[in-house]
Amino acid sequence: MAVAFRLFLVALVALVGASLSACAAGPAAGPLSEAELLSDRVVPEYRLGPADKVRVTVFGEEALTGEFTVGASGALAFPLVGEIRAQGLTTAELQEAIATALRQGYILEPRVSAEVLTYRPFYILGEVEKPGEYPYTNGLTVLNAVATAEGFTYRADTRRVFIRRAGETGETAYRLTSTTLVAPGDTVRIGERFF
């Protein structure tokens, strides 16, 4: 009987130890180790999308110069030529698309300039005081985004951040540093820390 009780206690201690290890590891997927986190986030050249506001200047043609918003369809309505597909283009590619359209019987050699005035908003979720949608500003970092959302909650994991790019389905984990960048349209999630 004493041997059976000892075996029972050994099995119980092993089971409790395994359960505590699983709890410490967090959810089923488990938190990422520091080695698994990406250290630097490279934000590719900005590509236009719906709700972006751009200023287009056609030099010497005041009637064609103005501010335009990329519509939900991804196009912007431009004088003389109609709709021009803007979604997915850089500002340099948009300039060329407008110049090409204007060369089709309207202006011999158009000189076009485009700049983004208002970017798509970014979204911040998780362990911040005021999660939500916020306007994007050039050079935005995760720490700036957290400050915009009125700071971390006391449960926030301040070592890592999860970011999902606009149009992507999955999020990527990064080390949360003062230089971790946010792009327009990103969804930033601050996770809960595990003790």
| Domain spans of the chain, in order of start | 53-118, 120-190
**CATH number of the structural domain 53-118:** 3.30.1950.10
Residue range 142-177, pLDDT digits in tens: 999 999 999 999 999 999 999 998 878 899 999 998
Can you give the pLDDT at residue 52? 92
- Please report, as a single letter, which amino acid is at residue 103: R
Residue range 1-13, pLDDT digits in tens: 554 444 444 444 4
Residue range 20-72, pLDDT digits in tens: 333 333 333 445 555 455 556 666 788 898 889 999 999 999 999 999 999 99
- Please report, as a single letter, which amino acid is at residue 133: E
Among 38-52, 77-91, 114-128, whose mean pLDDT is lowest? 38-52
- The pTM of this model reads 0.68
Q: What is the mean pLDDT of residues 124-142?
A: 94
Can you give the pLDDT at residue 193? 86
Among 8-12, 73-77, 80-84, whose mean pLDDT is lowest? 8-12
Q: What is the mean pLDDT of residues 98-124?
A: 93
- What's the rounded Cα separation, in Å, for the pair 80 and 45? 29
Q: What angle do CA 50, 54, 57 make, to 5 degrees?
A: 145
- What's the rounded Cα separation, in Å, for the pair 150 and 154? 12
Can you give the pLDDT at residue 96? 96
3-state DSSP of the chain: CHHHHHHHHHHHHHHHHHHHHHHHHCCCCCCCCHHHCECCCCCCCCCCCCCCEEEEEECCCHHHCEEEECCCCCEEEECCCEEEECCCCCHHHHHHHHHHHHHCCCCCCCCEEEEEEECCCEEEEECECCCEEECCCCCCEHHHHHHHCCCECCCECCCEEEEECCCCCCCEEEECCCCCECCCCCEEEECECCC
- What's the rounded Cα separation, in Å, for the pair 143 and 180? 8
pLDDT value at 17 more than 60 = no
The class of domain 120-190 in CATH terms is: alpha beta
- What's the rounded Cα separation, in Å, for the pair 15 and 17? 5
